[in-house]
Amino acid sequence: MSHLLDVNLLLACGWSSHARHPEARSWLESQASFTTSPLSELGFMPVSMSPAYRASFADALVALRNITSRSQARVVAADVPVARIPVLTAYADVTDAYHVELARAHGLKLATLDDVLCRKPWAAGIAENPL
């Protein structure tokens, strides 16, 4: 089954200084196909350009395109109604839950480095840490 990459895995692939970069890159290159979404790409850009890391917009876009332009890459639209998200108790879970539902709707697994997310009941069977 193909994977939808969340922002943490996308960052691990695009930043050589990320602690998991070697593993993430090897994993990505071993995939017959992988998927990104506007959500994960929209997360990659502001984190890369944030005061903590200070990438230029142009450089961040080059690094992102070096992932999304691979022959095995595809992108899914954020086309799942928000109403499909399960009932949540934490506002911080909304985007993650949406990404889980987006992956589910497209027959994908959500690949993430967030082990806490992987243990959420609503993410069971969809979110997994592939590294």
Residue ranges that bind other proteins, judged by CB under 8 A: 7-8, 11-12, 14-19, 21, 25, 43, 46-48, 50-56, 59-60, 62-63, 66, 92, 95, 113-116
- Nearest distance in Å: CB 41, other proteins: 13
- Nearest distance in Å: CB 107, other proteins: 25
- Nearest distance in Å: CB 94, other proteins: 12
- Nearest distance in Å: CB 126, other proteins: 17
Residue 54 backbone zone (phi > 0: left; psi -120 to 50: alpha; other: beta): left
Decide: helix, strand or coil at residue 16: coil
Assess contact for 78 and 38: CB atoms under 8 A. Answer: yes
- The Cα–Cα gap between 71 and 81 comes to 29
Give backbone dihedrals phi and psi of 4, rounded to 5 degrees, phi first. Answer: -95, 125
Q: Which two tokens stand for residue 115?
A: 């082990």
Shorter beta-carbon distance to other proteins: residue 89 or 107? 89
Shorter beta-carbon distance to other proteins: residue 28 or 85? 28
Shorter beta-carbon distance to other proteins: residue 22 or 107? 22
Shorter beta-carbon distance to other proteins: residue 54 or 107? 54
Burial class (CB in 10 A: 0-12, 13-18, 19+), 112: buried
